[in-house]
Amino acid sequence: MSLTAADVAEIMRLVEQSGFDELTLEMEGTKISLRRGVAASGAPSAPAAPKPAPAAPVAAAAAAAVADPGLKDLPSPLLGTFYRAPKPGAPAFVEVGSPVEADTIVGIIEVMKLMNTVRAGVRGTVAEILVADGVLAEYGETLMRVRTSG
């Protein structure tokens, strides 16, 4: 498999939107190294704008989850764009209050034009959805929380 210009552009877009400062990728003798904040000459470029601090409700929700052992975080299994529905305009896989089983699909993570399903992994009811549709999700970032049952 060789990388196309579109593949490289998508990798660059994902790195730019992520929290990573550097990425090195080797595939079949091709090596790509991307570094944030370094111009082609190797001289540092203007610093990237810092990511905004999370709003207080998110912090309060995180504190509530720690205090409530009945809530289970569903982490993103990959770095990529999170989609709540199977296609644009379609209903979301789940909403707050939706019952889920371990094998219930709760979303999709798109990585380099490949769609990867995200399953609940637990039985319960969706309590919170923390990542909006079409937003870049970091690896391990909590996508949603499920109130577990029995």
Q: What is the pLDDT of residues 30-85, one digit of tens each?
A: 777 777 654 444 444 444 444 444 444 444 444 444 557 889 999 999 999 999 99
What pLDDT does residue 129 have? 94
67 with 137, same domain: the answer is yes
Question: Distance between CA atoms of 69 and 141, rounded to whole angstroms?
Answer: 18
- Tell which of 28, 48, 68 closes a domain: 48
Number of domains in the chain: 2
What pLDDT does residue 67 have? 57
Structural domain that includes position 60: 56-148
Question: Distance between CA atoms of 120 and 19, rounded to whole angstroms?
Answer: 25
Question: Distance between CA atoms of 143 and 77, rounded to whole angstroms?
Answer: 10
38 with 62, same domain: the answer is no
- Tell which of 48, 64, 80 closes a domain: 48
* pTM value surpassing 0.85: no
Dihedral pair phi/psi, residue 144, rounded to 5°: -160, 170
Q: Is the pLDDT of residue 96 over 90?
A: yes
